[in-house]
Amino acid sequence: MPHGSAFPARYAVFGHPIGHSLSPAIHRMFGEQCGIALDYVAIDATPAAFADAVRHFLAGGHGANVSLPHKAAACALADERSAAASRAGSANVLTRLPAGRLAAHNTDGSGLVRDLTGRQHCPLHGRRVLLLGAGGAARGVAWDLLDAGVDQLTIVNRTADSAVALAGALGATRARARHWQDLAGLGSFDLIVHATSAGVLGQPLPLPPGLANPQTIGYDLSYGRAAQSFLDWARGAGAKAACDGLGMLVEQAADAFALWHGRRPDTDPVYAQLRGSAA
């Protein structure tokens, strides 16, 4: 409860659509675990209404998570940006500062790396990684993959120019862009990260089987139905494991919780509960 207030601190997740968001349940479980009273709701805002809606909420609320399609707008409207938000040009966390100022953070990349290296037993140092997509979701994780020691990050996108732009922005010789039509000649990868919105849109994603070998981990940044088709492809292509983004969701939420409450919760029981109820 905020100091001097009879009411718990207020938080929200903004998205469009947002009805099935797991974020309210995750933050409530974190709060219970840490003995922190909080009020966390899901708010549906259209892109046109987002900036006013989030500013209105944060006039009284303490923080907001931001989901699709508002992450770039959240980064743009903030008064201050963390390094992770600045380089990605997108934010999944907004925090109210004194005098009504807003700070933007991005915890998606750190959430992915923590889920991969911890829960999924997928070390990143020295690995060959294929990143499919070059939009907001891909930008949210690309720098963190390099920071985690990935040896070669190959970015492939339907629109090649965006992949080239992202590789250029990363500014590392370990990052390179390749054409989608050349995928079949790239050999196999240790890790394939699916960051396009094809699954969310229910569109097919043509991928050659040779990208995976028996040691490959396929990871979809989405979860639920949106991840299904990529996970099916990864299993069919002979990958060692196919993981959805549920673990990343819980880890990025824990990093947001730590920013707001100064304490990182234990994510394993929360992940287990969500995985159990999703099974």
Catalytic machinery residues? 71
b/e per residue 135-150 (b: at least 16 CB within 10 A): bbbbbbbbbbbbebeb
From residue 56 to residue 95, what is the string marking binding to ligand ATR with x (rule CB under 6 A)?
A: ------------x---------------------------
Nearest approach, Cβ of residue 49 and ligand ATR (Å): 19
Question: 3-class DSSP state for residue 191?
Answer: strand
Give the integer Cα–Cα distance in Å for 145 and 143.
5
Give the integer Cα–Cα distance in Å for 146 and 245.
19
Residue in 55, 128, 158, 240 binding ligand ATR, rule: CB under 6 A: 158
Which pair of tokens denotes residue 78? 């903030």
Nearer to ligand ATR among residue 53 and residue 74 (C-beta) = 74
**Cβ-proximal residue to ligand ATR, closest one:** 135
Nearest approach, Cβ of residue 213 and ligand ATR (Å): 23
From residue 179 to residue 208, what is the string marking binding to ligand ATR with x (rule CB under 6 A)?
A: -----------------xxx--x-x-x---
Count of chain residues binding ligand ATR (CB under 6 A): 17
Give the integer Cα–Cα distance in Å for 132 and 56.
36
* 220 in Cβ contact with 199 (< 8 Å): yes
Environment class of 252 (CB within 10 Å of its CB; exposed 0-12, middle 13-18, buried 19+): buried
Nearest approach, Cβ of residue 157 and ligand ATR (Å): 5
Give the integer Cα–Cα distance in Å for 190 and 218.
9
Nearer to ligand ATR among residue 177 and residue 270 (C-beta) = 177
Residue 148 in contact with ligand ATR, rule: CB under 6 A: no
Nearer to ligand ATR among residue 67 and residue 216 (C-beta) = 67
Nearest approach, Cβ of residue 208 and ligand ATR (Å): 14
Quick one: which of 112, 128, 147 has its CA closest to 244?
112
What are the φ/ψ torsions at residue 61 (nearest 5 degrees)?
-75, 165
From residue 117 to residue 146, what is the string marking binding to ligand ATR with x (rule CB under 6 A)?
A: ----------------xxxxxx--------
Residues lying near ligand ATR in the complex (CB under 6 A):
68, 133-138, 157-159, 162, 196-198, 201, 203, 205
